[in-house]
Amino acid sequence: MKCRKCGGRAVLELRRHNTAFCAGDFLDFFRHQTLETIRRWKMLSRDEPVLVAVSGGKDSLALWDVLLEAGYTTAGLYIDLGIFDYSRESKARCQAFAAGRDARLIVVSVAEEVGAGIPQVKDVTRRPTCSACGLSKRYIMNRAALDHGFGVVATGHNLDDEAATLLGSTLRWDESSLARQTPVLEATHPKLVRRVKPLFRTSERETAAYAFLRGIDYIVEECPFARGATSITHKEVLNRLEDASPGSKASFLTTSLERARPRFQAAEPVDLRECVRCGQTTTGEVCAFCKLSDQVRRAGEAPSKTHAARCSQTLQT
Ligand code: AMP
Ligand code: FES
Ligand code: ZN
């Protein structure tokens, strides 16, 4: 198989694009596709500092690498979920990546914010683990961005993640998820920062190839709580469709964004206000993160010093 660009030996075939690349031309293709997505979807402006949420996995580290290479002003944000070896190893990967590039890494620990790490949170709430974890990550990403003066957070969600989320929401006809799922979530409130997903058109296979060819040391293991998750089944089903008909995942996602999302969005107006406890946005009185922290505290875990201090500050002002 030959590289479509230079005629040299290809290392990767991309059936969806009906093409194949050698290592150097694939890296160029990957960078170009990412930067073109950022441009076309108006995700970032050139002089705007961006907080890159890094999990230690291939996608977010590949994204941070592309942004650093392209000259964006960035800092990484690692959220320590307290999930045993998985968190220790993923944090070490992020720290090594940042140190190797002289980049700034901000680390926030869920245990300090909520009063307990995700494994203990799992035991005290009736929410599925991934839902409590996702809620904590979204909250911390937004607050860390505000605290450190960033107007935008970039995450490494890729095409496979996004298509699987869309399939899950569609199977449940979950209208509010369908309205919310977008590569660019604008800041619709002064206490919200913009959230962008520059890899949403890029497959997991492509990000793995990029990270490998760039020599990025990333964590390969999945989170132990992800085992048996329905999102994995949705990814497998989508991979079978993609095998039979290359391009299915991308077209499922993009046609939904173009045609379906605007309708769900129109039907789901969201009235945001500030949480009376912590000041972050919520649709009710008290935000879901404060409620989660309360549950942890009631279950007898140590109250979160950081979060309690912030809440009392907000109440006094
Ligand atoms: P996931 O929800 O694990 O598929 O991750 C999706 C994206 O969320 C990743 O590509 C990261 O950008 C971000 N993310 C996930 N886990 C963390 C974490 N522990 N710290 C910071 N960002 C994270
Ligand atoms: Fe959140 Fe696994 S990363 S539960
Ligand atoms: Zn709150």
Residue-wise pLDDT tens digits, 28-85: 999 999 999 999 999 999 999 999 999 999 999 999 999 999 999 999 999 999 999 9
Tokens at 149, concatenated: 């003066």
Tokens at 132, concatenated: 């409590």
Q: Tell me, in angstroms, the distance from the centre of ligand 1 to residue 134's CA.
A: 9
Q: Is the CB of 61 under 6 A from ligand 1?
A: no
Closest CA to 28 of 213, 236, 241: 213
Q: Is the CB of 137 under 6 A from ligand 1?
A: yes
Q: Please give the pLDDT value at position 316.
A: 47
Beta partners for 303? none
- DSSP state at residue 157: -
Beta strands at 19-21 and 50-53: parallel, antiparallel or unpaired: unpaired
pLDDT at 312 > cutoff 80: no
pLDDT in tens, 274-302: 999 999 999 999 999 999 999 988 887 45
Beta partners for 2? 9
- Residue pair 307/114 in contact by the 8 Å Cβ criterion: yes
Q: Tell me, in angstroms, the distance from the centre of ligand 1 to residue 315's CA.
A: 31
| Three-class SS state of 31 | helix
Q: Whose CA is nearest to atom 3 of ligand 2?
A: 223
Candidate from 34, 58, 60 with most ligand 1 atoms within 8 A of CB, to mutate: 60
Pocket of ligand 2 (CB under 6 A): 81, 118, 129-130, 133, 223, 225-226
Atom of ligand 2 nearest to the CA of 130: 4
- Reading phi first (left if > 0) and then psi (alpha if -120 to 50, else beta), residue 168 is in alpha
pTM: 0.94
Q: Which residues surround ligand 3, an ion (CB under 5 A)?
A: 275, 277-278, 287, 290
8, HSE (Cβ side, Cα atoms, 13 Å): 10
Q: Which ligand is nearest to the CA of 277?
A: 3
pLDDT at 186 > cutoff 60: yes
Q: Tell me, in angstroms, the distance from the centre of ligand 1 to residue 32's CA.
A: 23
Mean pLDDT of 307-313: 62
Candidate from 55, 133, 136, 230 with most ligand 2 atoms within 8 A of CB, to mutate: 133
pLDDT in tens, 112-161: 998 899 999 888 887 788 889 999 999 999 999 999 999 999 999 999 99
Confidence band, pLDDT 50/70/90 cuts, at residue 303:
low
DSSP string, 54-84: --SSHHHHHHHHHHHHTT--EEEEEEE---H
Cα–Cα distance for residue pair 189/186, rounded to 1 Å: 9
The residue type found at 39 is R
Query: Both ends of the chain: CA-CA distance in Å?
Result: 66
Residue 113 neighbours by CB under 8 Å, 6+ apart: 136, 140, 293, 304, 306, 307
Q: Tell me, in angstroms, the distance from the centre of ligand 3 to residue 109's CA.
A: 17
254 membership: H or E segment, kind and range: helix 248-255
- Residue pair 142/192 in contact by the 8 Å Cβ criterion: yes
- Residue pair 49/110 in contact by the 8 Å Cβ criterion: no
